[in-house]
Amino acid sequence: MEYFLQQLINGLTLGSIYGLIAIGYTMVYGIIGMINFAHGDVFMVGSVVAFIVILGLGITGGSGAFLIILALALVVIIAMLIASVYNWTIERVAYRPLRGSFRLAPLISAIGMSIVLQEFVRIAQEGRPKPIQPIILGKHELLHRHADSGEFVVTISNMQILIILSTVALMAIFTMIIQRTSLGRAQRATEQDQKMASLLGINVDRTISITFILGAALAAFAGTMFFLYYNVTDFFIGFLAGIKAFTAAVLGGIGSIPGAMLGGMVIGLIEVMWSAYFSVEYKDVAAFTILVIVLIFMPQGLLGKPEVEKV
């Protein structure tokens, strides 16, 4: 039971990260109906930028708590800004000119973009993984039990608390933006019908750009948290994380933002539980299997609307 509880905490942490990335997939898919294949790599860019800034600022676990908080806020803001610039540029350069091209064109372009981002970072920063010493230290014991078969301790680290809480906060802010602001209204309108939205005076191009920027900012936040959680990053983390987050987006129902978060949690939990109870080697295979099963048997996902193909 304690073991399960511990895995539950780990799974929720990982799931938060996947969920944040998944929102970017789901929003872009909802609005222009394409998989932004390079989104996972934008996540990677965010985490690499965070790494560089942390190294540049020279913060370590030994710095004072106040200093760490201040520095990390700066790190997160810079990572989000840079990743947004990347995603905005990608949309302008690689996707916008292809609207109205044939069906596979944006996807192929996105695959190309994903390779470009990976290789760009690999060449500029070398391919080796980038480790740092843990910055956010400390953990709390939630449960401590002495049993005949040994001691059981359930802990939650400060980092895990930070990830879960900040994800909840970001989700709240984000939901507010989508539900309450004129920007969110424009975004929802564009998602429903681009032509009609533009007739009603919504700048569709601008709305799509902002969608990419928001998605990138969330992915960069997730990238920073991923880096702080695992204390290592490299140019290739975007590939697997991207596929898993996409799985989360599909599982939750593509186009649905709460669905993406839910899907992320489910994927994170399944991955952690699979590693804990079955085999670590096959955890990625498990994630891929879920992807395949979901796409084949319930492509509308948990919270999505069934898609009707119009002729």
Task: Choose between 229 and 246: whose C-beta lies nearer to other proteins.
Answer: 246
Task: Choose between 166 and 300: whose C-beta lies nearer to other proteins.
Answer: 300
Tokens of 289: 């299997």
Tokens 């649905």 correspond to what residue? 256
Write down the least CB distance from residue 88 to other proteins, Å: 8
Q: Does 308 bind other proteins (CB under 8 A)?
A: no
Give the footprint of other proteins on residues 139-198 (CB under 8 A): none
Which long-range contacts does 185-192 make (Cβ < 8 Å, 24+ apart)? 187/27, 187/31, 187/211, 190/31, 191/30, 191/31, 191/255
* Under 8 Å between Cβ of 79 and 255: no
Write down the least CB distance from residue 92 to other proteins, Å: 5
Write down the least CB distance from residue 96 to other proteins, Å: 6
Give the footprint of other proteins on residues 74-103 (CB under 8 A): 78, 81-82, 85-86, 89, 92-94, 96-98, 100-103
Q: Does 14 bind other proteins (CB under 8 A)?
A: no
Strands (E), the chain: 130-131, 139-147, 150-157, 232-233
* Under 8 Å between Cβ of 222 and 43: yes
Write down the least CB distance from residue 129 to other proteins, Å: 9
Write down the least CB distance from residue 49 to other proteins, Å: 5
Tokens 């919270």 correspond to what residue? 303
Write down the least CB distance from residue 292 to other proteins, Å: 6
C-alpha dihedral over 290, 296, 297, 303, to 10 degrees?
70
Please list, in sequence order, all residues whose beta carbon lies within 8 angstroms of the beta carbon of residue 70, skipping any fewer than 6 positions away. none
One-letter amino acid at 38 equals A
- Which residue(s) pair with 131 in the sheet? 232
* Under 8 Å between Cβ of 22 and 52: no
Task: Choose between 61 and 138: whose C-beta lies nearer to other proteins.
Answer: 61
Q: Does 138 bind other proteins (CB under 8 A)?
A: no
Write down the least CB distance from residue 143 to other proteins, Å: 34
Write down the least CB distance from residue 56 to other proteins, Å: 6
Calpha distance 106→114 (Å, rounded): 12
Give the footprint of other proteins on residues 230-269 (CB under 8 A): 239, 243, 246, 250
Piece in contact with other proteins (CB under 8 A), picked from 110-118, 177-185, 194-202, 221-229: 110-118
Q: Does 199 bind other proteins (CB under 8 A)?
A: no
Write down the least CB distance from residue 178 to other proteins, Å: 24
Q: What is the DSSP string of 54-123?
A: HHHHT--TTS-HHHHHHHHHHHHHHHHHHHHHHHHHHIIIIIGGGTTS-TTHHHHHHHHHHHHHHHHHHH
Task: Show the binding pattern over residues 27-56: x = contacts other proteins (CB under 8 A), - = does not.
Answer: -------xx---------x--xx-xxx-xx
One-letter amino acid at 66 equals F
Task: Choose between 94 and 202: whose C-beta lies nearer to other proteins.
Answer: 94
Calpha distance 21→242 (Å, rounded): 7
Q: Does 284 bind other proteins (CB under 8 A)?
A: yes
Catalog residues that contact other proteins under the rule CB under 8 A.
Answer: 34-35, 45, 48-49, 51-53, 55-56, 78, 81-82, 85-86, 89, 92-94, 96-98, 100-109, 111-116, 118-121, 123-126, 128, 130, 132, 205, 239, 243, 246, 250, 281-282, 284-285, 288-289, 291-292, 295-296, 299, 309, 311
